[in-house]
Structure 1
Amino acid sequence: MSYFDNHYLFSETYVKEYIRMQKNLIGQGVELSYKMVKDWHDECSKSNWFSDYICPVLDTVGFKYQAATNNIMTLYTNNPASGDKPVAVLYATDKGTDLNSTIKGRYYAYKTVKTAKEQGTEWAMLTNGYKWRLYHVKNVSPYENYLEVNIENSLKNNKAPDEAFTLFHLFFNARTYYLEDGELAIEKIKDKSDEKAEQVEDFLRGKAEEILKDICYGLKENMDRETYDSATCRMIYQDAITLLFRMLFFGYAESRGLLPCDAADTDYSRNSFFRLCAEAKDILNAGSANEYKNGFEFWDRLDEHLRIYVDRTYNGGLFNNDDKPILREYKIANGWLMKCLAEIAYKKDKKTNTYDEKIEYKDLSVRNLGSIYEGLLEFNLFIADEQMVKRTAKGKTQYFKTSDVTLKKSDEPNIIEKGDIYLSQDATERKDTGAYYTPEDVVEYIVGNTVGKKLEELQAKLKKQLQNKYDELGVEPTQSGRKRIQQAIDEETLAFVRERILSLSVIDSAMGSGHFLVNAAYRMANGIVDILCANDWESEEYIPVDIGYWKRKVVEKCIYGIDITGWQ
């Protein structure tokens, strides 16, 4: 939908469900709202864009607001439960303004979120009258994650509400910000959205072990050895985890547009990860797996093309196989790999036993991927040297040689034949997952009281350092003189950021999947933007305030992680 961009603010899966549920409930309200908004739009001139269009739109969708200051309004509802408490702020720019601007003084996302924080609201809206964006100030990256609806085509070319205006009516209507049981309706949407994202993680975590076993079976089959010592089993398992997470990375990166999977880049798109998954799914659904199972076409496209393309293009070494003894020497036949690709990208319909619904990788965060990863690190690969049986009780799984126990009827689904693979802490026992993944609120608290406190300390030093210049600025009578002082302040601030903040080292000596470090990188990048944008003037010299730029710089200069793999 070109008119709708859920830019990682909500779960993509939940937003689609919410839209389907709500469209049948809003009825004639959206038609009346559309007619009024379109009338205001058609009668409005550009010179009176704010007073003759933006304000009436807010009236139409039910918001109350205080008199605007610099086109910024604090929004209220007529919901009695909310009282006089503001529910959001709105920053309205001129007609046609580029909301993506990251020029200092015109970084509208920053201005919007900053105002919401100052007003004590968690929700902030930004609009040029056509594009309407919603931000959440508590998001880990509040300036770059948003939901946007574009109603320009609706108002200019239509005579009735279309899909775009219906979505606008859903997310920017005052009723969506009513207080219900101590919580705004939009906050309940966010809570359910977060729950849905966790369900995607849970679903993939539940699949991960079986997919991993199939990868191991595929590698073992290609190795075709009589025996496998413990060192070889460890290498197979380690490289299998590497391959599994390369595939998860492909899914995550493609879903977020981080890899060039569009048709224009034919080198990538003809072998994009999701294209491979879709082709594998179609073959399996058609019952044609036997025709392909002994070939290596899918491996060649995944490993010899896709992996090498990404490694060469981004030059990061992440996909290099030089230190991967199994992946460097062996392949996985289509029979095993097609199933892995279909399982990792699709859900299976229980009635038809076919792969149907695509897993929404856009919903996964780095934290979700880390949880899946750390849940697999505790295990190792074992190959049964004789028939065994798996038995589970009280969160503990044990493996017995069938020759040592009396088999029961209930054991039949849990028989492990000679040569079969199983995953365990040791050859005879495993416990429930031992992944100890730190909850997000704990990470926030620790990072806030370490990295956050250090940033506050440095910000205070910078303020003291610049005080004389700000005093001078306050009494400077000429415009040219003010410009000169402002430029000096900007340059000194930028130098301070580069010399004092980018010289910090943030180290996690037991980083695991990097949860703390990712949070710290966001915290530092957002802190830098706050420092650079603290004054609101537009600089004649280019001052970088794009959050993406500073995330890259922080990761390059400040973030360090140390860990062991867990394999001896």
Structure 2
Amino acid sequence: MVLRQLTKEESKVRIKELVDEYTTKIKDREHSLDERNTERFIERILQILNWDIDNFDQVLRRDSVKVEDRTKIPDYVLYINGEKKVVVEAKAFSESLDNPKYIKQALEYGYYKQVRACILTNGKEIRVYDPFILSKSSEGKLLFSVHINQYENLFDQRLWFLSYNEIKENTILAKFASKGEVKKPVSEEVIDNIIKGRKFLIDSILHLNKIDDFKVAREHAHKIINRFLFIRVAEDRRFFKEFDHGRILEDRVNIFKKRISQKIKPLMNEIKELFMEINEVYNGELFKPHPCEELKIDSESLEKVIYLMYYIKHENGEEDQVDFSKLDADVLGGIYEKFLGTIIHETKRGKLVEKVDSGVRKEMGQYYTPQYIVDFIIQNTINLYLEENPDKLFSIKII
């Protein structure tokens, strides 16, 4: 059923009624109200702005989760025609939106969802950020804010721009967003970093090792980058339960820096030891002994590559930390497919240049499998098997 869209004047009347309800029924006891009350209040604002909160094609809500022994209010992603348009980071009535942690969460959420309009709200205040604005301060990314006592008076100038039809027309960006430089989507930044890191490795391998075949040097660099990518994704998604450290690549760099004055061994030796440790635990194809581990790679270049695996540095000096756990599976798959399809070539003058070459992916037999295909395969193999053999749940081995 399609809900009737409220006119701007009708929405303004409803907002006034909601503000009055807050003043008479909520304000004096907001500290005693649980998260569900705040959630309902935020959803009523969305409804007044013509978002159909019961339509999964428009509004998706995450389940409440425990964070540091506290229940975190669900976040919302607002869609129009299947495209993410707005993310909402919701906090309780009693929480202050000035908390730097909350602002950081909201900006990261919008950045990794690759959405320009990001709302941070506790119901009684709404702040709208553009996480893609190049600014070292969160204030520089703020499009506008409005307090509950301004909801009615600034409805035309602020709140209405968050309504379904206004978001559909992108008027919020046209009116409030910066006209200056903006960040590229995080997926593009990550692939740029990976390719840049691969260039550093190839250049160092060619200069410090007796390798005449450029393709061999490229394959060695590709192997190392593949391992680094696996480590970074596993770190951020908390797969490395066998290791005490959350950022094991950076840890090796720090160990190396502490020893650098002693001139004990190059950074590549630390990385080789890490590869061996991972292979002992996981015993997979990726970390089996490989000639790339015996290469000479200058420590400065290797440190740069590892930095690129953790951080995105923008032209204005602003730095974002790469968090692979926040990237959707399809985005991560797209990054890897672009990495496979972007090949480094050496010109006759010895310059390294990038070239998109899907034929190399075919030659290497490496492709990203889309999530919907993975889901279909699992549903029609593993799930079917477990339905018929529920007693095998804890003994089944998947290779």
Q: TM-score interval w.r.t. the shorter chain?
A: 0.5 to 0.7
Residue 77 of structure 1 aligns to a residue whose secondary structure is helix
Please state if 1:371 is matched with 2:342: no
TM-score, with structure 1 as normaliser = 0.41
How far apart in 2 are the matches of 1:293 and 1:423? 34
Please state if 1:218 is matched with 2:72: no
Give the match for residue 124 of structure 1: 61
Q: 1:358 aligns with which of 310, 315, 321?
A: 321
1:38 is displaced (CA, Å) by 7.2
Give the match for residue 433 of structure 1: 356
1:246 is displaced (CA, Å) by 1.4
Give the match for residue 48 of structure 2: 78
How far apart in 2 are the matches of 1:530 and 1:177? 42
1:374 is displaced (CA, Å) by 1.8
Residue 241 of structure 1 aligns to a residue whose secondary structure is helix
How far apart in 2 are the matches of 1:184 and 1:123? 20
On the 8 A contact 1:63/1:78 being kept in 2, the answer is: yes
The structure with the largest alpha-carbon Rg is 1
Q: 1:314 aligns with which of 254, 262, 282?
A: 282
Give the match for residue 503 of structure 1: none
On the 8 A contact 1:293/1:334 being kept in 2, the answer is: no
Give the match for residue 74 of structure 2: 133
Q: Which runs of 5+ in 2 are unaligned?
A: 1-18, 80-86, 104-119, 128-147, 152-158
Query: Measured at CA, do residues 60 and 336 of structure 1 come closer, stay the same or move farther in structure 2, by a change above 3 Å?
Result: closer
How far apart in 2 are the matches of 1:279 and 1:147? 40
Query: Measured at CA, do residues 348 and 360 of structure 1 come closer, stay the same or move farther in structure 2, by a change above 3 Å?
Result: same
Matched ranges for 1:507-522 at <5 A: 512-516=366-370, 518-522=371-375
1:368 is displaced (CA, Å) by 3.6
Q: 2:298 aligns with which of 327, 330, 333?
A: 333
Give the match for residue 165 of structure 2: 180
How far apart in 1 are the matches of 2:193 and 2:323? 15
Give the match for residue 251 of structure 2: 275
Q: Which amino acid aligns with 1:367?
A: G
Give the match for residue 26 of structure 2: 36
Query: Measured at CA, do residues 294 and 529 of structure 1 come closer, stay the same or move farther in structure 2, by a change above 3 Å?
Result: same
How far apart in 1 are the matches of 2:323 and 2:199? 23
How far apart in 2 are the matches of 1:58 and 1:248? 37
How far apart in 1 are the matches of 2:41 and 2:376? 38
Q: 2:226 aligns with which of 241, 245, 270?
A: 245
1:293 is displaced (CA, Å) by 12
How far apart in 2 are the matches of 1:298 and 1:273? 11
How far apart in 2 are the matches of 1:327 and 1:303? 9
1:244-285 alpha-carbon deviations (Å, 9 max, x no partner): 121122222212222249xxx44x45x7113345778xx7xx
Query: Measured at CA, do residues 319 and 58 of structure 1 come closer, stay the same or move farther in structure 2, by a change above 3 Å?
Result: closer
On the 8 A contact 1:299/1:337 being kept in 2, the answer is: yes
Give the match for residue 68 of structure 1: none
How far apart in 2 are the matches of 1:122 and 1:530? 29
TM-score, with structure 2 as normaliser = 0.54
Matched ranges for 1:74-113 at <5 A: 77-79=47-49, 82=50, 87-89=52-54
What percent of counterpart residues are identical?
11
Give the number of equivalent residue pairs: 301
1:129-149 alpha-carbon deviations (Å, 9 max, x no partner): 9542246699xxxxxxx9886
Query: What RMSD in Å do the two structures reach over aligned CA positions?
Result: 5.4
Matched ranges for 1:281-320 at <5 A: 296-304=265-273, 306-320=274-288
Query: Measured at CA, do residues 137 and 527 of structure 1 come closer, stay the same or move farther in structure 2, by a change above 3 Å?
Result: farther
Q: Which amino acid aligns with 1:369?
A: I
On the 8 A contact 2:279/2:287 being kept in 1, the answer is: yes
How far apart in 2 are the matches of 1:275 and 1:199? 28
How far apart in 2 are the matches of 1:259 and 1:343? 21
User: Which one scores higher on RCO, CA 8 angstroms, separation ≥ 6?
Assistant: 1
How far apart in 1 are the matches of 2:217 and 2:364? 24
Q: Which runs of 5+ in 1 are unaligned?
A: 1-28, 65-75, 90-115, 139-145, 383-398, 401-415, 425-429, 439-507, 533-540, 558-568
1:399-418 alpha-carbon deviations (Å, 9 max, x no partner): 45xxxxxxxxxxxxxxx4xx
